[in-house]
Structure 1
């Protein structure tokens, strides 16, 4: 891999810049371990500069290695901490430790989020007699916009109680508001993104509800959507925090977790507008046992397990971890700011799912990908998917609509050219098919298998293992075959899709070699 700018920097007059450029060049060609050894630095240092190059280009190698952050930069970091902290279970204390400041500094940075605003008072008055709920969030280069639905409350009904005492509610709402601070990093947003967002919002709204928008700055809103308020500045936007807390359950726990996870993923590389819309719930199906059984448990243990997987995948991407390395409870609890007992429970969940292998010494081994792993995982997805598709041929109109909307979302993502986002939409389409089948035990199984694929891709250093045009083509053909009632044709399409993806990944596997025994994670002692 060659970059003319990187080659130029390797001959720069500044010795520090020359050394960094040459180190990165060798990391890309030789790998972080060998490059670190040849340059006389640690693997962490080699991986750090390579990651800066990958995310910011050659210009990142010219900036000083160390610079004291200004008070304003530290304040912004404290306000955006919900988006970048290693775990969602953060606190003012853990943020202060991560930033190297006092806890009182973080509290002062958050002070404007406690003060309230006259706009909040106006919104409260406008919502009297109506129950609000968040339908979606749009973050573009112009503004952050929250879409609410306001449902009339009859005299016989009692509004839902407020949830100010729930720490999870505090954290999710802070994350929502913090997203506006990332907005200056976004490129200009195409007009198609807001239009698609508002179309999804209209589909998700209840028939008798009024849709209202609340924006951090001036932004175009459809004529049929009422504008509850436009904030004058970032201070007024952040000051809406007490207003949101007092509105009761604006989101279900599952929806809040989904929104927060999406924001945190997006904020790592905010290269496009962020859109999230609450999934529409078919009437009469939201409280049945079949619906509950079809969704993987989203409790705190599972949420922490997902954070553990994400931390390991990040470590692989940054060159600090590789297949066969040991990841200790001590390391994970330090990175995720939680206890070793909680990490141990999460690791057991992951071992049960086959994503990690727990060893002696309170550690787990990062999987080493083999041909058998790929063949077994794709064979399971192939078989389970065939069952799902044959059952989905009998879907109800409501379930068909849910799958059609997920396919539309896939096609909108494909237009952006973002392979990772389109890949996630492809998996969401497959999950929607599983839910539409009525086979309530299949969906959680496919979710676990999707986690396996993501781990495989991280270990191998691949992009999503399916081209964008092929995703759209195959998923559209699959939907049309199911919609026509031709189960055999639909299953045939599914098997071609899975076989092509498996062949791609098998073709990327390195030649078989001795299996690593599990080295220590850099920086750990156990």
Structure 2
């Protein structure tokens, strides 16, 4: 794609990432009429032209006609097409394998096309393009490598795919990310266009793990069709990807992880796992159990936990890692900090071009979806995501970083102190709608008043839930 003229907003690049987020968050619902380009345009506020172009770009090279049997490999009967056989993420490797499809399923090319776009969107937003090659970890499970035809030695410039293979594999350092995506798209083009070719339980897994770099996704087709998702899976929840943090040098969301180390990426996954596990203050965390649960090596998890300890999100001693003790004063202190940093961010966001606020509009749509069809326990998380998108739109790098750091601590506080925002979800939606409308219309003073009232309500809500823990008088002293 040609570079945009200097000074011209990269609207299409932003639209690509917004649309990718919508597709992957939909899970199996992506194949329904709720996810036409027209409906996505209505949800995001983007034009239908931008959305259609974004879907084509995400779909990448998946536009070629189906290959003949000789193109795929001798001896493979592909008249019925292919189907997905396995999707596995074992850091830092991703394996996407296909097999000859079962006959008999009805053809649904439109729905299959949407599912294909969702699978590629999950890879698009995963951040795996920036994964770095790592030395062998003695604690990590063994990864089986793809068989390569001896007559066609591996090309170091291409992803690890045998000439006659139906498997695409991403290994950092052995080829380009774009070549891997192109190969996955090519294999999707060879699939029989049925819903069973890309089962819904896989799409649910990708949706629920999209905010965690897809770490831990392990799906394999069973002998009698696709395997069902685990009963303990969170795949039925509306997926809420953890916000990746302020960008460093690019307006392109998919590049926002470029400056992260592998340890930082794993720390994000680990932090979300701890939040979702319902740990309490003082609970000891087992490196071994967390490594097994996430499918990562113990050395990688231990390094990530040390980073979380450096960030103040864990306590670390010779006895191991523990969830730190938080008090009501800590939480009110944090909310007061968010109030003042947020005022700076809102004033700056109100002066930005409207296109910079497109991600915030999408985040508001996610909150609205949570309120009507998602798990109510996700309402607080969706609200935090909306707030962080406003911080990102402000264009203030230091303020956005400070706000992001406060958000990470607030997520942990909410989980550890078991604060329930479900009863307040309707109020969250109303407040965020009013706030975004005021920012979009440049009514800065009103936007600041709404923001202050929003946090006042949050502190009153906490005080009502735990009057012995939270002191509203301290809040008044810090904020008046």
Q: Could you say what secondary structure the match of 1:115 adopts?
A: strand
Q: 2:266 aligns with which of 284, 304, 310?
A: 304
Which runs of structure 2 are paired with 1:111-190 in the superposition (5 Å)?
Answer: 113-116=97-100, 136=118, 162=159, 164-167=168-171
Contact 1:138/1:275, CA 8 A, preserved across alignment: no
Contact 2:283/2:322, CA 8 A, preserved across alignment: yes
Separation in structure 1 between the aligned mates of residue 294 and residue 366 of structure 2, nearest angstrom: 32
Which residue does the alignment assign to 1:325? 283
Unaligned runs of 5+ residues in structure 2 are 1-84, 104-113, 125-156, 161-167, 178-184, 219-228, 470-480
Deviation string 1:185-239 (CA, Å, 9 cap, x unpaired) is: xxxxxxxxxxxxxxxxxxxxxxxxxxx9x99xxxxxxxxxxx99764574x448x
Which residue does the alignment assign to 1:268? 233
- 2:436 is the alignment partner of 1:434: no
Query: How far has the Cα of 1:356 moved from its partner?
Result: 0.9
- 2:362 is the alignment partner of 1:360: no
Deviation string 1:412-452 (CA, Å, 9 cap, x unpaired) is: 33222532344333222212211111112333433332232
Separation in structure 2 between the aligned mates of residue 262 and residue 402 of structure 1, nearest angstrom: 27
Q: 1:289 to 1:358 in 2, by over 3 A?
A: same
Which runs of structure 2 are paired with 1:398-413 in the superposition (5 Å)?
Answer: 398-413=355-370
Larger relative contact order (CA 8 Å, sep ≥ 6): 2
Which residue does the alignment assign to 2:91? 89
Separation in structure 1 between the aligned mates of residue 98 and residue 254 of structure 2, nearest angstrom: 39
Q: Could you say what secondary structure the match of 1:463 adopts?
A: coil
Which runs of structure 2 are paired with 1:408-487 in the superposition (5 Å)?
Answer: 408-416=365-373, 418-464=375-421, 467-487=424-444
Which runs of structure 2 are paired with 1:23-42 in the superposition (5 Å)?
Answer: none
Query: How far has the Cα of 1:476 moved from its partner?
Result: 0.9
Q: 1:341 to 1:161 in 2, by over 3 A?
A: closer
Separation in structure 2 between the aligned mates of residue 503 and residue 382 of structure 1, nearest angstrom: 14
Separation in structure 1 between the aligned mates of residue 100 and residue 170 of structure 2, nearest angstrom: 19
Query: How far has the Cα of 1:322 moved from its partner?
Result: 3.0
Separation in structure 1 between the aligned mates of residue 376 and residue 271 of structure 2, nearest angstrom: 21
Which residue does the alignment assign to 2:11? none
Which residue does the alignment assign to 2:352? 395
Q: 1:167 to 1:422 in 2, by over 3 A?
A: farther
Q: Could you say what secondary structure the match of 1:409 adopts?
A: helix
Query: How far has the Cα of 1:326 moved from its partner?
Result: 2.7
Separation in structure 1 between the aligned mates of residue 260 and residue 350 of structure 2, nearest angstrom: 29
Separation in structure 2 between the aligned mates of residue 446 and residue 261 of structure 1, nearest angstrom: 26
Contact 2:281/2:325, CA 8 A, preserved across alignment: yes
Q: 1:299 to 1:464 in 2, by over 3 A?
A: farther
Separation in structure 1 between the aligned mates of residue 292 and residue 198 of structure 2, nearest angstrom: 33
Q: Could you say what secondary structure the match of 2:389 adopts?
A: helix
Which residue does the alignment assign to 1:127? none
Deviation string 1:92-144 (CA, Å, 9 cap, x unpaired) is: 9xxxxxxxxxxxxxxxxx9x94435599xxxxxxxxxxxx99753699xxxx9
Which residue does the alignment assign to 2:455? 498
Separation in structure 1 between the aligned mates of residue 381 and residue 248 of structure 2, nearest angstrom: 27
Separation in structure 2 between the aligned mates of residue 452 and residue 263 of structure 1, nearest angstrom: 26
Contact 1:294/1:443, CA 8 A, preserved across alignment: no
Separation in structure 2 between the aligned mates of residue 496 and residue 268 of structure 1, nearest angstrom: 37
Separation in structure 2 between the aligned mates of residue 408 and residue 365 of structure 1, nearest angstrom: 36
Q: 1:408 to 1:308 in 2, by over 3 A?
A: closer
Which residue does the alignment assign to 2:303? 345
Separation in structure 2 between the aligned mates of residue 467 and residue 262 of structure 1, nearest angstrom: 32
Separation in structure 2 between the aligned mates of residue 335 and residue 379 of structure 1, nearest angstrom: 36
RMSD of the TM alignment (CA)?
Answer: 5.1
Query: How far has the Cα of 1:293 moved from its partner?
Result: 12
State which structure, 1 or 2, has the greater radius of gyration over its C-alpha atoms. 1
Number of residue pairs aligned between Structure 1 and Structure 2: 303
Unaligned runs of 5+ residues in structure 1 are 1-78, 93-109, 120-131, 147-159, 174-211, 216-226, 242-250, 280-285, 513-526
Contact 2:439/2:447, CA 8 A, preserved across alignment: yes
> Structure 2 length normalisation: TM-score?
0.50
Separation in structure 1 between the aligned mates of residue 363 and residue 342 of structure 2, nearest angstrom: 17
Q: Could you say what secondary structure the match of 2:118 adopts?
A: strand
Query: How far has the Cα of 1:478 moved from its partner?
Result: 0.6
Query: How far has the Cα of 1:308 moved from its partner?
Result: 2.6
Q: Could you say what secondary structure the match of 1:367 adopts?
A: coil
Separation in structure 2 between the aligned mates of residue 442 and residue 263 of structure 1, nearest angstrom: 34
Separation in structure 2 between the aligned mates of residue 421 and residue 263 of structure 1, nearest angstrom: 21
